[in-house]
């Protein structure tokens, strides 16, 4: 039975409990809104995490490579353009089906399917197998040019990864050490693109499809993994504090 002599204390207790629940909910919501800001103490840690997300981890890297490897190996063995394109597309669709069955993200498989589709359009339009490699060469050339310009103007592309973590896309640029670090990291992403273009474009012009296919396999994900390993080594050496003085969006 309720004590009629203590109504105020009962209401006060209920109100306090409600306020505590509301405060806890607000704290949890705030934590969910800016998880990366609380999760990273250094710039290096933030960049490592964001690069892993962007590439989809080890599985995303492998899924992006398998259809291309399938097409390249098939062409080297059979010299059949349509068959090779079909094998590459088929492998991509199998990977997509696995992702859907596991109810996991299909982003990186879709990227791979898109790449195979563009390659097929180029190759089928001209009837030349080497044209399947032209979109990749153009992509690497364009990406390398964009990264080089970003380094020259001292707004290295990797810096914006830090901006996505801190909540301010440009605050990182005020710290010379962070700019220097991001320039080095951007160079490590740029170099594989330059190497691919320097090797593959002359092979494309000469029509050496077998050598071009082999070069694409060797300089695809293995070269990217090597670049990421170099980045991981560079990032592991530094302990640049993450600047959280910039308020989060909406704060």
Q: Is residue 225 part of a domain?
A: yes
Q: Which whole number is the average pLDDT over 17-32?
A: 43
pLDDT at 119 over 60: yes
pLDDT digits (tens, 9 = 90+) for 159-188: 887 777 667 788 888 888 888 888 998 999
Portion of the chain with pLDDT greater than 70, in percent: 69
Q: Is residue 165 part of a domain?
A: yes
pLDDT at 57 over 70: no
Q: What is the average pLDDT value for the chain, to the nearest integer?
A: 75
pLDDT for residue 137? 95
Q: Is residue 184 part of a domain?
A: yes
With tokens 């951007």, the residue in question is 186
pLDDT for residue 77? 85
Q: Which whole number is the average pLDDT over 104-124?
A: 83
pLDDT for residue 205? 94
pLDDT at 32 over 80: no
Helix axes 159-166, 43-55, angle to 10 degrees: 100
pLDDT digits (tens, 9 = 90+) for 123-141: 899 888 889 889 999 999 9
Which of the two residues, 196 and 105, has the higher pLDDT score?
A: 196
pLDDT digits (tens, 9 = 90+) for 217-250: 788 767 877 777 787 787 776 566 555 444 433 3
Q: Is residue 27 part of a domain?
A: no
Q: Is residue 26 part of a domain?
A: no
Locate 230 and state its tokens. 């170099």
Q: Is residue 143 part of a domain?
A: yes
Q: Is residue 109 part of a domain?
A: yes
Please state, as a whole number, how many other Cβ atoms lie within 10 Å of the Cβ of residue 40: 20
Q: Cβ contacts of residue 40 below 8 Å, gap of 6+?
A: 46, 49, 165, 242
Domain total of the chain: 1
DSSP string, 135-184: HHHHHHHHHHHHHHHHHHTT--TTHHHHHHHHS-SSGGGG-HHHHHHHHH
Q: How far is CA 103 from the centre of its chain?
A: 20
Portion of the chain with pLDDT greater than 90, in percent: 21
pLDDT at 152 over 90: yes
Q: How confident is the model at residue 29 (pLDDT cuts 50, 70, 90)?
A: very low
Q: Is residue 120 part of a domain?
A: yes
pLDDT digits (tens, 9 = 90+) for 62-88: 777 788 788 878 887 888 888 988 998
Please state, as a whole number, how many other Cβ atoms lie within 10 Å of the Cβ of residue 97: 12
Q: Which whole number is the average pLDDT over 14-26?
A: 45
pLDDT for residue 209? 82
Distance CA 237, CA 185 (A): 13
Query: What range defines the domain where residue 116 resides?
Result: 42-237
């Amino acid at each position: 039975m309720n004590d009629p002599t203590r109504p105020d204390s009962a209401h006060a207790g209920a109100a306090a409990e409600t306020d505590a629940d509301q405060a806890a909910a607000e704290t949890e919501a705030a934590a969910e809104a800016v998880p990366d800001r609380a999760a990273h103490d250094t710039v290096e840690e933030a960049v490592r995490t964001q690069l892993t997300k962007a590439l989809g981890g080890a599985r995303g890297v492998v899924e992006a490579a398998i259809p291309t490897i399938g097409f390249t190996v098939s062409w080297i063995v059979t010299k059949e353009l349509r068959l090779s394109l079909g094998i590459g597309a088929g492998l991509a669709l199998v990977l997509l089906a696995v992702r859907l069955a596991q109810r996991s993200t299909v982003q990186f498989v879709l990227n791979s399917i898109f790449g195979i589709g563009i390659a097929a359009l180029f190759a089928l339009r001209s009837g030349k197998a080497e044209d399947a490699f032209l979109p990749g060469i153009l992509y690497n050339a364009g990406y390398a040019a964009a990264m080089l310009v970003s380094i020259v103007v001292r707004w290295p592309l990797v810096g914006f990864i830090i901006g996505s973590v801190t909540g301010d896309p440009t605050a990182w640029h005020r710290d010379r050490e962070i700019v220097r670090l991001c320039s080095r990291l951007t160079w490590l992403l740029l170099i594989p693109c330059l190497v691919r273009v320097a090797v593959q474009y002359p092979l494309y012009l000469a029509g050496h499809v077998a050598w071009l296919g082999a070069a694409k396999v060797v300089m695809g994900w293995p070269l990217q993994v090597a670049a990421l390993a170099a980045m991981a080594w560079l990032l592991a050496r530094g302990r640049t504090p993450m600047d959280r003085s910039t308020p989060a969006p909406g704060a």
